[in-house]
Each structure stands twice: as C-alpha cells, then as structure tokens.
Chains A and B, each alone.
Chain A
Amino acid sequence: MQPAEAVFESQTEQEFEPKIIALFCNWCTYTGADLAGTSRIQYPPNIRIIRVMCTGSVDPLYILKPILEGVDGVLVGG
C-alpha cells in the first residue's frame, strides 16, 4: 500500500485510487472508527462510512448495487 500522504496527490496523476463504501456496525466497527479518530490513527481517506445498527441488517443490495454502479469496494465491518 502507498503511504497515506501519497494517496491524494496521486489522484491528479490518473493513478488508480479506489473509492470504498464501508458499512459499519454501530456497536463495534463504527465505534472502532471513532476510536481510530480519538487515537489520531492516520489512514487513507478512501472510505465513506455508512452507519448501520448491526451488520446483520446489511442487505446484499447494499453491497451489489454500489459495485454495479462503479464503487471499487465495499467493506462490511461488524
């Protein structure tokens, strides 16, 4: 993986820069993402987090539709 700083710089150079949709459980992974924030852990800015109350509620549609429409990856955390 590239170092974090390089990620956005490289976008202008037409390099592949994935966009990832993240479906995170309110109780664990979303909390973990909050903790990453309070701990100031730095990571690439490619994910867009959608909070769900449990990953048990993740419908296959939430994964398939974005992929069909061009997202590069879906991350389910729960």
Chain B
Amino acid sequence: MPGVFAGGDAVTGPKTVIEAVAAGKLAAESIHQYLQGLELKNTFKVSEEKVAPLRFAGDEIPRFEPEPVSCAEPVERAKNFSEVSAGYTLQQAKKEAERCLNCGVCSECLECTKVCLPAAIDHSMSDEEIELAAGAVILSPGFEPFDARLRQEFGWGIYPNVLTSIQFERMLSASGPFQGHLVRPSDKTEPKKIAFIQCIGSRDSTDKGSEYCSAVCCMYATKQAIIAQEHVPGLETAIFYIDVRAFGKDFEKYYDRARLEHGVRYEKCIVSTVRELQQEKTLRIKYRKANGKFAEEDFDLVVLSVGLRPSASAGELAGRTGIKLNEYGFCQPDEFKPGCTSKEGVFVSGAFCGPKDIPETVVESSAAAAHASCLLSTARGSLTAAKEYPPERDVSDEEPSVGVFVCNCGINIGGIINVPEVVKYAGGLRNVKYAEEFLFTCSQDNIQKIKERIIEYGLNRLVVASCTPRTHAPLFMSSMREAGLNPHLFEQANIREHSAWVHRDQPAAATEKAKELVSMSVAKACLLEPVATSFIEVNRRALVAGGGMAGITAALSLAGQGFDVYLVEKEKELGGNARNLFYTIQGNNPQVLLGRLVNQLQENPRITVLTGAEIKEVSGYVGNYRTKVKLGREIRELTHGVVIMAIGAREARPEEYMYGEHPSVLTQTELEHKIVGNELPGVKNIVMIQCVGSRQEGRPYCSRICCSHAIKNALKIKEINPAANVFILYRDVRMYGFMEKYYKKARSKGVIFIRYDLENKPSVTASGSHLTLQVNDPVLGEQVSLDADLLVLSTGVAPRSDNEKLSWLFKVALTADRFFAEAHMKLRPVDFAADGIYLCGLGHSPKLLGESIAQANAAAVRAVTLLSKDRLESLGIVATVDEDCCKGCGLCVAVCAYDARYLDRENGMIARVHEVLCQGCGACVASCPSGASQQKGFAKQQIIAMADAALG
C-alpha cells in the first residue's frame, strides 16, 4: 500500500528497543524518500497479512468488558486530597490481566525460544485435560511451611536477618542465593552467632498456629546448626526449644553429637520476642528460661524453625475424592490402616497424612502402594510394554573403532575446560575414529546423534567425556543397545566432577587433565569386550520371619498381592508384643485387630503359618533361598525367593529404681495389664519415670514410644479415677505429630509433669509398702518429695538377643544398638543392603503399632517388586574364571562377601561364579594367585592400560 509505512513490533513481532529504533529510522528515511519522489531504497515491502500477526483467530478469544475501576464520589473528593481511583482489588486485577485483547503484541518477547538451541520452549502450549482410567489413586500432595508472618513477634518479613528454616536451608546450599556462603542478608557479613527458634507455628494453641507438633523441626534445626558450623569455623549456634524431640532411629545419637562434638547449645525456654538493634541489625531475643527467669541475648542471625501445615490443595483434593480430613486439615488415616482413607481405592502417603520425616514418608508411600497393589493384583503388568532392541552387532573381529563425545554440560564444563581442544586431542588418539562436542550430551537429540554416529562411522566403542558415570552411564549404555552395540563397550571420562568443578581457577590445568582422562578412557575402551548377562528363575514365595503384628501384616499383604507366604514364628502363639497392648492412645483396641488378622491368616490359603518354629540354617541366594526350620523335633526345609525380617523387639528390663525388689514398682506394660484387669483399687498416687535405662550409657537411643505409652496409661487412670494423682518425671516429652494433643489433654486432666535431667535423676526409697520419690523440680528450683503407691517405669524397647544369630544367618547388618540396619536410613527404610531381604517392625527400631503396620505393608510391596519378576538378571560386570588356569585353591571363595564363588568339586575343583549373586567387587580377582579370576569390564589389563595412558 503506497504511502503507508510501518515498523516496530507490529510488523516484526516482539523485538528489542534497539531494533524498534532502527525500524523507526528506516521508516523515517523511507518517508523522506517517498515525499521527495525518489525511488525507495533500503526498504522492504511488508505483506498485508504480516502486519500485526494475530496469535489467535478473530473468534477464538471471547471478548469481555474491561473491569471497571471504582472511583471516589465527587462529594467525597471535594473534602480531601485522597486518591480518586481506588485501583483494582487482587481479584479484579487478575480478571483484567486475563482479558486478552488479541492485539498481537504480547509481552512475550520470545527471545528465549531463539537462544534455546534444542528448541525446547514452546509458548503456544496450553493446558491440556487428560483423562486417565485408574483402579486406585494415591494422594501425596505434601505440606506447606507455616507462614512465619503470622508470628510477627519473631520479626520475619520485618527484620532482614530473621530467616525461616527453609530460607536458611537454601542459604546453606551450594546452589543457593549466596553460592553456599553463610552471610547475613542485611550486610553480607559472616554471622558469628546464630539462634534457631523452635516450634514456630507448632505446639501453638492460638488461632495463628497449630496445636500439633510438626515432628521434624528439632532434627532439621540440629542438622542446620551442625552444617552452619561447618560453613563458618568458630560459629556459635543456639537452639531455643521446648522439648528436643529426637525420637527417630539414631536421632538421639545425632542430637548427642550436636551437643557434645559440635558444641551446639540447647536452651530450654520459651521465646517471647525478637527485636532488631537498629545500628548493627543484630537481633535481641527475649526468652523465659526453664527456671522461670527472663533473659535477653543478641544474635547476628535468627532462624525460625517453621512447622508443617497441610497443603493448600488438600481441601480441594479431599472434596474431589470424597475423603475425610482431620481437625487440622490433614488426611490422617485410621491408626491401624496407615495409607488408607475413608474411601475405598483412594490411598494416601507422606506429609499429607500428617507431619513426618523422610523415612516415615517413604515407608507410608510404599504402604499405600502395597494397598493399591493388593487391589489391582490381577491387573499387574497389563499396561507395561517391554522395550525392543535391535540385534547386537558382533564386533569380536573388528579393530577398536572408538567414538569420543565431549560434553560442554552447558557452561559447567565448557566454561572452564577448552572443549574444542579436548575434542581435537581425542581425535588424534590411536583407534579413535570420530570425536565431537555437544552442548548437552545427555539431551534427547544428542543421544539420537550418538546413535547415528555409531552407525554412520561404524563405531564399536563409545567414550563419553562428561559427568559421573554413577548417574549417566546407564543412559549412554542404553543408547548403545539401541544402536546395536553391546552396552559394556562403553567408558565414561568424568571431566566435570573430577576436573571442571574442582579446578575452576586453573582452566589450562583442567583442560590438560580432561585430555588425560579422555586418553585413559580410550585406552580402556579399546580393550573392552562385550558382556553378556545371565538370568535365574525366581521362586515366587516369601518367607516372613516373625509372627508379631508386623509379620502378620506383611504376610497378609503379600498374599493379597498374589504370592504364597511362609510365616515363621518362634513362639507358640502369634501376636508378639501386640498381645500386651489393650488400648491405644487414640482409644482403639489392638486385641480386636489382632484377633481379626489371625483369623484372616488362618483362612488364607496362600499363607502357611508355622508357630513354635526356629530358623536354624539359611542357604541359597536372592530369588532362591533354602531355609531350614526346626518344628519340635522335625527339621523342615522351606524354599522361597525373598525374606521379610519382622522379628520384633522386647520391653527392656529396668535395673534401677528398686524394680524387682519392691512389688509396687512396675513397667508400663505391667501397669497396662493391671489397669485392664482392674487391679488398681485404692491406688491414689502414681509416679511414672520416663527414659529408664534409655538415652544413657548402655542404651543410648530414645525408644520413641514410652512418652505416649505413659500418657496413654496416665489418661486411662484419670478416666477410671479422676481423683488419682499421676506424676510423670520426664527428660523431654516426645509426643510428636498429632499426639501432642494427648499431652495437652493429660495436663488439663491434672497429670503433673516434672522434668529431670541425667545428672539429677530421681531417687526412690521404700518403707514397707510405701514408696517415696525425691526429685529436683527445675521450675521451683527445689527438691520435691512425692509419695507413691505405685512407681511405674517407662523402660523402653530393647533388641532381641537372637538378632545377632539372625544377622549371621541372613547376612544382614545390625546397628550399634543391635537393631537391624536398613540399606539407607532415609531413602530405603525397609530394604537391606542385600537384594531380596526386607525389614519391618520393632526389629528395625522402636515404633508405635500403626507405624509397624505401615512398615510391614511397605516391606511387602518392596518384596513384590522382586517376586513379580519372572527372572533376575545378573549385573554384567561380574567375575569370570579361566578354567585352564584355576588351580582350585579356594581363596576366591574365602574372600567373597556375597557367597557368589564356590568350588565345583565334581568337575575337577574349579572355582565358579554364581553370576546373579556376584556384586562385581572384584575382590576374588585380586586374591587369585594364578590369574584365573577376572572381572568383566574391569579386567587387569584394562586398569593397567588406564594407568599407562595416564603416564603418557
């Protein structure tokens, strides 16, 4: 259209200001030329449809009226100088922002799509509604941290040096806002003194906080204090707490280490306010100490240990799925049915059910999966598809032809190491056919390129110089299979973790090192040979050791998921410790549950119950165990593929406070029997002592259940006889999670709690049937004398004496406290380090009945992950034997920790390998005096070749 000129975003779509200025100048020049009647130069015609490209078609966008802005009435305006326009409310602003005018020039500049090389950004994507058909739903929407703004007296959001624990966690992280440097936000200086204030928003009965205990804050504050001290040498840390709730497995040990080794100070108190000193931005904490006196102390930084709140979406999810939430807004399952909800087929896990630590979260998630797996057992495997690979190319006759791919890892490697130089160097190495660099070698398009290069250049060995093989080798190895190569013809040079990241200030040295690492990997790769894996059948039957509540639950879950089970119990009767529990703190009756479950066991044809049975001998290996069990005089051999250890624990026997000397001194379990048997008439004064034998030398751990056991019994006594006086002498009241309310209830019913410490234990004297307790009351600061008709000792949980024997038989580890040791404290809480053996119940650590049930279900579903396989594949990098060289000395059998080596006596004394059991440690290779043993993928000549290459 002659005479019409255009420029800017309307023509080109969003561009930068500079380009807009250029377009304006170009237009001005063109107009000038046009008006002068000159021929138009330096210009281009814009086709009509290109002007103002619309993102949507004309009718695609509904049109709305603009949101009106309310203005003050003229009468009002006349009176003052206040703002006339009231502006938008939050809702109005959102509504107006959503009103698309389809003007064609969105604020999206789309610059990101241009700089993203793999073209991963697509602005035209929109929400999609997907419908999935599912037989079960597991909800785990998590939690939200408490909003520290609601507790203004601690100054969060007002003073820059007051942080929440989540902010502090980020600050400690290498990828955090200050690259892992611990600094005060106000002046970026290193703090010398940090305070952690506990229970922010937790154990808080006002309308702003929550009544329950958030269960995780004591430990995360302890962890943060220790890490902070590692960051800043000489840092002073103090944790202001009400009770230190270090109730989890090995938590007490961690708490001890924080105090005794790291010097973290724990101050039992209630903090009233945090105020900032304006000049220094230092914070002054005012608190009331345990003795009732007020104190003030200054800190450079204050961290608020914020509690856990239900997730914002919890209410909506509950409404949609029809499940019930508890009074706090969490989906708290029935005590005996952890993971289940009020609606069948809907299961829950994690902090959505209540505040909890990682191990419990992982356990409950597995428990929820177990329930879903029971429900859907007939459909198992119906939606899975096996991956198909092309046939493997035989490379045995080929000369090594190595492809080297060097990764920039964005700027992680490329920012330090001269990657083109490394590629050039690699290309010049012997046997290297091809070398190339990638921005991200692990990205989908580059994996595809690697596959293409393998075929195009006929490569038969692959070397990737990038990050650690521990995370990325499986990906690259899988791409080799897809390209028709054996995946073990692969070697990875770790030039990121072992060079770029650790020599950041020496780029030249880092580049040299990267070259050598590549050269070493190429040297090894040239000697690599294809590795074939082998398979064994799986015996799809489980053995559950222990017929307590955990064992029974695990057996029922396994049967429900479609597998046969042997349940082996040492005692004549099933039930274990649950036989001594008659009511829970929530008011449920474990005996009813036990009776029901025992009936279910007996009726289930998949379960074989063996009581009075002792495990004598275990042989075999994962997938194929043979266990000898003694039943009376008979020895029976059971064959099974997996083992669940549910062997329980016992109530500890006290050795102090006149237990066993005086008839009125009982344990909590003995008291429970007496309460149920109505054997307490005339008993008026009851004194309970907590942590008897626990949290001290000999039994240093916290038994987790004793606080609730004592409060449960105290409440029962008060219910039966409100006039009875109950005193609980405690060190810390560890009523974690929702149990806090029973602690509160006990206090409101008149149960008196008196704190003592290890240095100042209570003492007991007897005169006839009468007992007198002496205890130092820290609030009064005086010695108090208590008369007791009954002295009840909370003695905690002790491991069974046969744990050692079983740990030998099944070759599983014990902790220092003689409980069974799981594979990973947080992430693998029911697995043992060895495959095929799983763990649940009190044998793992002290826990409540409901927690044992959750763990039993979790162990069952973990076992099913193995039982549901048709066959097990060996590791690949296993030991091999050159039969001609083997002299049958048996040294390899002696050094093998996994029972994977054995002497074949029938065929000329040759040491062989159970490939499925071999964990590829190579100990037998080093021990072999004749050089007959080798490890696939780590052959001696390969390691030597790497060393030779390093020497240049």
A18 at the interface (CB under 8 A from B): no
Which residues of A are found within 8 Å of B470, using beta-carbon distances?
Answer: 26, 30-31, 34
B940 at the interface (CB under 8 A from A): yes
B705 part of interface (Cβ distance < 8 Å): no
* A19 CB contacts on chain B under 8 angstroms: 950-951
Are the CB atoms of A57 and B922 closer together than 8 Å?
A: yes
Shortest Cβ distance from residue B919 to the other chain A in the assembled complex, whole angstroms: 8
The CA-CA distance from A45 to B515 in the complex, in Å, is 12
Asked if A52 contacts B174 (CB within 8 A), the reply is no
- Which residues on B sit within 8 Å (CB–CB) of A49? 494, 498, 517
B516, A48: Cβ atoms closer than 8 Å: yes
Name the interface residues of A26-40: CB closer than 8 Å to any CB of B: 26, 30-31, 33-34, 36-40
Residues B174 and A39 in contact, CB atoms below 8 Å apart: yes
Query: Known contacts A8-B506, A45-B499: does B951 contact A54 (CB below 8 Å)?
Result: no
Q: Are B946 and A50 in contact (CB under 8 A)?
A: yes
Most chain B beta-carbon contacts within 10 A, residue among A37, A39, A42, A57? A57
Query: Within 8 Å CB of A37, what residues of B?
Result: 468, 496-498, 501-502
A57 and B933 alpha carbons, distance in the complex (Å)? 11
| A51 to B935 CA separation, bound complex (whole angstroms) | 13
Interface positions, chain A 1-26, Cβ under 8 Å from B, are: 4-5, 7-8, 19, 21, 23, 26
Contact of B506 among A38, A45, A56, A59 (CB under 8 A): A45
Evaluate contact between B922 and A65: CB separation under 8 angstroms.
no
Bound state CA distance, A65 and B947, in angstroms?
9
Instruction: Point out the residue from B180, B494, B921 that lies within 8 Å of A57, measured CB to CB.
Output: B921
Asked if B510 CB lies within 8 Å of chain A CBs, one says yes
Q: Tell me which residues from 495 to 518 in chain B have a Cβ below 8 Å from any Cβ of chain A.
A: 496-499, 501-506, 508-510, 512-513, 516-517
Chain A residue at minimum C-beta to C-beta distance from B950: A48
Tell me if A38 and B951 are in contact (CB < 8 A): no
Any chain B CB within 8 A of the CB of A75?
A: no
> Which residues 895-945 of B sit at the A interface, judged by CB distance below 8 A?
895, 919-923, 925-926, 935, 938, 940, 943-944
When each residue 40-71 of chain A gets 1 if its CB lies under 8 Å from chain B and 0 otherwise, what string results?
A: 11110100111111101111011001100111
Contact A34 B922 (CB under 8 A): no
Which residues of B lie under 8 Å from residue A43 when comparing CB positions? 502-503
Q: Does B687 contact A (CB under 8 A)?
A: no
**Among A30, A34, A38, A56, which residue has its beta carbon within 8 angstroms of that of B921?**
A56
Chain A residues whose CB sits within 8 angstroms of the CB of B512 once the complex forms: 45
Given the known inter-chain contacts A36-B502, A41-B502, A42-B502, please indicate yes or no for A52 contacting B951, CB distance below 8 A: no
Query: Is B948's CB within 8 Å of the partner chain A?
Result: yes
Interface string of B470-500 (1 = CB under 8 A from A): 1000000000000000000000001011110
**Cβ–Cβ contact A33 & B926, under 8 A:** no
- Of the candidates A21, A50, A53, A71, which one forms a contact with B877 in the assembled complex, judged by CB atoms under 8 Å apart? A53
**B947 and A50: CB pair below 8 A?**
yes
A38 touches B174 (CB 8 A): yes
Chain B, interface residues (CB within 8 Å), range: 35 or more
Contact check, B520 vs A48: say whether CB atoms are below 8 A apart: yes
A70 proximity list for chain B (CB < 8 A): 951
> Does B922 lie within 8 Å of A45, measured CB to CB?
no
Residues of A within 8 A of B944 (CB): 61-62, 65
A59–B927 alpha-carbon span in the complex (Å): 8
Contact of B938 among A41, A52, A69 (CB under 8 A): A52
Distance (whole angstroms) from the CB of B534 to the closest CB of chain A: 18
CB of B469 within 8 A of chain A? yes
How many angstroms from the CA of A37 to the CA of B923 in the assembled complex? 28
Specify which chain B residues have a CB less than 8 angstroms from the CB of A33 in the assembled complex. 497-498
Residues of A within 8 A of B895 (CB): 56
Q: Is the CB of B469 within 8 A of A51?
A: yes
A53-B877, A61-B940, A62-B944 given; A4·B921 CB < 8 A = no
- The answer to whether residues A42 and B504 also contact, given A49-B498, A53-B921 and a CB cut-off of 8 A, is yes
The answer to whether B922 and A52 have CB atoms under 8 Å apart is yes
A8 contacts B508, CB within 8 Å? yes
Complex interface: chain A residues within 8 A of B923 (CB): 54, 56-57
| A59-B494 contact, Cβ under 8 Å, with A7-B506, A39-B174, A53-B920 | no
Q: Please name the residue on chain B nearest to A58 by beta carbon.
A: B926
Residues in B with CB closer than 8 Å to A52 are 922, 938, 943
Q: Considering the chains assembled together, what is the distance between the CA atoms of A33 and B497 in angstroms?
A: 7
Q: B497 to A38, Cβ gap below 8 A?
A: yes
Task: Report A44 CB to chain B, min CB distance, Å.
Answer: 8
Main secondary structure of the interface of B (DSSP, over half): helix
Contact B497 A40 (CB under 8 A): no
**Contact assessment for B926 and A56 in the assembled complex, using a CB-CB cutoff below 8 Å:** yes
Give every chain B residue within 8 A of A36 (Cβ-Cβ).
497, 502
Q: What residues of chain B lie closer than 8 Å to A38, measured between beta carbons?
A: 174, 497, 501
Distance to closest chain A CB from B149 (angstroms): 33
Interchain CA distance A42-B513 in the complex, whole Å:
14
The answer on a CB contact under 8 Å between B469 and A45 is: no
Residues of B within 8 A of A41 (CB): 502
Decide: A66 and B951 in contact? CB cutoff 8 A. Answer: yes
Report A24 CB to chain B, min CB distance, Å.
10
Cβ 8 A contact of A69, one of B501, B502, B926, B948: B948
Are B922 and A56 interface neighbours, CB within 8 A? yes
Instruction: Contact check, B509 vs A7: say whether CB atoms are below 8 A apart.
Output: yes
Contact B926 A57 (CB under 8 A): yes
User: CB distance A50 to B943 under 8 Å?
Assistant: yes
Tell me how far the C-beta of B545 lies from the nearest C-beta in chain A, rounded to whole angstroms: 28
Which of A8, A34, A58, A69 is B951 in contact with, Cβ under 8 Å?
A: A69
Q: Which residues of B contact A30 (CB under 8 A)?
A: 470
Residue numbers in B under 8 Å from A21 (CB-CB): 947, 950
In the complex, the chain A residue whose C-beta lies closest to that of B921 is: A54
Complex Cα distance A71/B497, Å? Answer: 23
Which residues of B in the span 452-469 have a Cβ within 8 Å of any Cβ on A?
468-469
A59 to chain B, nearest CB (A): 5
Identity of the chain B residue whose Cβ is nearest the Cβ of A33 in the assembled complex:
B498
Alpha-carbon distance A44/B78, docked complex (angstroms): 76
Give chain A nearest CB distance to B231 CB in angstroms. 11
Residues of B within 8 A of A51 (CB): 469
Q: B288 to nearest A CB, angstroms?
A: 40
Complex Cα–Cα for A22 and B499 (A): 14
Contact A5 B925 (CB under 8 A): no
The reply to whether A59 and B926 form a contact with Cβ atoms under 8 Å apart is yes
Q: How far does the alpha carbon of A70 sit from the alpha carbon of B467 in the complex, in Å? A: 29
User: Which positions 288-313 of chain B face chain A at CB distance < 8 Å?
Assistant: none
Determine which residue in B174, B496, B513, B943 has the highest number of CB atoms from chain A within 10 A of its CB, and name it: B943
Please determine whether A59 and B504 come into contact, CB atoms closer than 8 angstroms. Answer: no
Contact at A40–B504, with CB atoms within 8 Å? yes
Contacts of A5 on B, CB cut-off 8 Å?
505-506
Pair B946/A45 contact, Cβ less than 8 Å? no
Q: Which of A19, A26, A33, A45 has the most CB of B within 10 A?
A: A45
Do B938 and A57 touch (CB < 8 A)? yes
* A39–B510 CA distance with the chains assembled, in angstroms: 17
Q: Which residue of A lies closest to B948 (CB)?
A: A69
CA distance A31 to B66 in the complex (A): 59
Q: How far is the CA of A52 from the CA of B180 in the complex (A)?
A: 31
Smallest CB-CB A-B distances: 10 pairs: A57-B922, A37-B497, A56-B923, A54-B921, A8-B509, A37-B501, A48-B950, A45-B509, A34-B497, A66-B947
A-B contact pairs, 18 of them (CB 8 A): A5-B505, A8-B508, A34-B470, A34-B494, A38-B497, A40-B180, A42-B505, A45-B503, A45-B506, A48-B517, A52-B922, A53-B922, A56-B921, A56-B926, A57-B921, A61-B940, A66-B951, A71-B950
Additional pairs, 14, CB under 8 Å, beyond known A37-B468, A56-B895, A62-B943: A4-B505, A5-B505, A21-B947, A30-B470, A34-B468, A36-B502, A49-B517, A50-B946, A53-B938, A54-B923, A57-B926, A57-B935, A58-B926, A62-B944
Chain B interface (Cβ within 8 Å of chain A)?
174, 180, 468-470, 494, 496-499, 501-506, 508-510, 512-513, 516-517, 520, 877, 895, 919-923, 925-926, 935, 938, 940, 943-944, 946-948, 950-951
